Amino acid sequence: MKRFTPFVLLTVMLVLLIGCPDPPREYSGFSNVTTLKDLHIVDTTATTATIAWAPVANASSYIVAVDPASNGPFSDRRICYDTSYQLIGLEPNTPVYVKVSAITPFGESTPSAALTINISVWITALTPNGAFFYHDDEIELTWTSKNAGDSVKIELVQSDSVVHTIAHSTPNDGSYYWTIPQSIPHDFGYQIRISSTTVDVHHDGWGFNIVPDPGLVGHEGHTHPEFSTGLYD
């Protein structure tokens, strides 16, 4: 059996190493970034939306692409170094569409499916609703809202015109107690208008009436004998 000297063996090994190219790199992480996963909305305000997604292995950053059309072209691309992002300056009740992709050592991943962001903003005035009241009555004004900001303005209106400002700014907590002042004329068809102080949204509630004091009975809305038609009883 022929023996090889150590020098020959070393030479053969060098030839094999130099002559054989490296095997193709295993893109082991690439399958994890083919499509970014779990893109969702975390929180919204009247003009902002916070989105988040599942982290991608080896990602150095992410691209948040925004477009007003669901089919793109998503040319508004913003870089992000976290797995969440806040979009600002959004228009209430106006949809925008977002895709997110990851940047890894292997390049940019396939974007996520488009996420629709449509911030619903509204206010609904609830009470009073259709009762008779008179001067010095304390009544609870109630409302509900979504994404309408932290404070609201409350006004007394009639035929779409402001008669009296009840509160220029009060917390948007759904309740406010108001004592009807003597300066408000007796009349029919008043409404309470609740308006956001930060976004352009308001709502006028049900009609109610302020009538002369004599002859009024009960509380939480009174029945006036002179106007007992059954409509407000």
Mean residue pLDDT of the chain comes to 82
Looking at residue 26, what is its pLDDT? 31
CATH architecture designation of domain 32-117: Sandwich (2.60)
Largest Cα span, the chain:
130
Tell me which fold the domain 122-227 belongs to: Immunoglobulin-like (2.60.40)
3-state DSSP helix/strand/coil % of the chain, to nearest 5: 10, 40, 50
Q: How confident is the model at residue 45 (pLDDT cuts 50, 70, 90)?
A: confident
Mapping DSSP to helix (H, G, I), strand (E, B) and coil, where does residue 31 land? helix
Q: Pick the more confident residue, 200 or 233.
A: 200
Residue 11: pLDDT over 90: no
Q: Alpha-carbon distance 69 to 24, whole Å?
A: 40
pTM of the model: 0.63
Write the pLDDT tens digit of every residue in 94-123. 999 999 999 999 899 989 999 999 998 999
Top-confidence range, 11-15, 54-58, 222-226: 54-58
Which pLDDT does position 7 carry in this prediction?
47
- 118 token code pair: 């449509």
What is the length of the chain?
Answer: 233
- pLDDT at position 50 over 90: yes
Same fold, 32-117 and 122-227: yes
Q: Give, in order, the Cα–Cα distances in Å from 178 to each of 113, 139, 184.
A: 50, 5, 13
User: Domain limits of the chain?
Assistant: 32-117, 122-227
Is the pLDDT assigned to residue 31 strictly greater than 50?
A: no
Residue 233 pLDDT: 38
**DSSP E strand stretches across the chain:** 40-44, 49-52, 61-67, 76-80, 84-87, 96-104, 107-108, 115-117, 122-127, 132-133, 138-146, 151-158, 161-171, 175-179, 187-196, 202-204, 208-210
Mean per-residue pLDDT for 35-61?
Answer: 92
Res 34: pLDDT: 60
Q: Which token pair is 109?
A: 């991943």
